[in-house]
């Protein structure tokens, strides 16, 4: 497994880790100190804000798991990949997204997230 693929696997693990101290340790390992995360719903600047964002998403979607939905494509310090969010064993994911990540010295520095499929409010 390439270092980039391992980094993205760990990135997704941060979104799935519900134990706050373990999640924070993963965030410290995966993200640069000045990291930012931006998607259509939120913007988080710094590891603490990213951690709070992950916790908020977990609270919104309890029991759901993020997974990689295809290959990781990378060149230079840029990475792109699609992901799913769903309950284990479900036929279809609830949410589908696409992230573009900028790296800095082997860590995630900026995440640009896009939402391809989101649940429709009743």
pLDDT 10s digits, 57-78: 999 999 999 999 999 999 999 9
For residue 97, give the DSSP letter. E
Cβ burial, residue 38 (10 Å; 0-12/13-18/19+): middle
Q: Are 92 and 111 in contact (CB under 8 A)?
A: no
Q: Over the stretch 69-109, which tens digit does the pLDDT of each residue have?
A: 999 999 999 999 999 999 999 999 999 999 999 999 999 99
Q: Is residue 70 part of a domain?
A: yes
Distance, first Cα to last Cα, the chain: 42
**CB atoms closer than 10 angstroms to residue 114:** 14
Domain count, the chain: 1
The whole-number pLDDT of residue 27 equals 98
Q: Is residue 122 part of a domain?
A: no
**Which run of H or E residues covers position 28?**
helix 20-30
Q: Is residue 66 part of a domain?
A: yes
Q: Is residue 67 part of a domain?
A: yes
Examine the pLDDT at 121 and tell me if it is beyond 80. no
Q: Over the stretch 6-40, which tens digit does the pLDDT of each residue have?
A: 999 999 999 999 999 999 999 999 999 999 999 99
Q: Does residue 32 sit in helix, strand or coil?
A: strand
CATH code for the domain in which residue 99 is found: 3.10.450.50
The whole-number pLDDT of residue 120 equals 80
């Amino acid at each position: 497994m390439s270092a980039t693929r391992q980094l993205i696997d760990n990135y997704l693990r941060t979104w799935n880790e519900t134990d706050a101290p373990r999640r924070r340790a993963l965030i410290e390992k995966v993200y640069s100190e000045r990291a930012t995360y931006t998607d259509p719903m939120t913007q988080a600047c710094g590891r603490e804000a990213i951690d709070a964002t992950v916790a908020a998403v977990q609270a919104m979607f309890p029991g759901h798991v993020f997974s990689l939905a295809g290959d990781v494509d990378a060149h230079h310090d840029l990475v792109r990949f699609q992901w799913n969010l769903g309950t284990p064993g479900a036929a279809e994911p609830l949410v589908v997204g696409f992230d573009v990540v900028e790296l800095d010295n082997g860590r995630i520095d900026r995440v640009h997230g896009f939402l391809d499929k989101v649940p429709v409010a009743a």
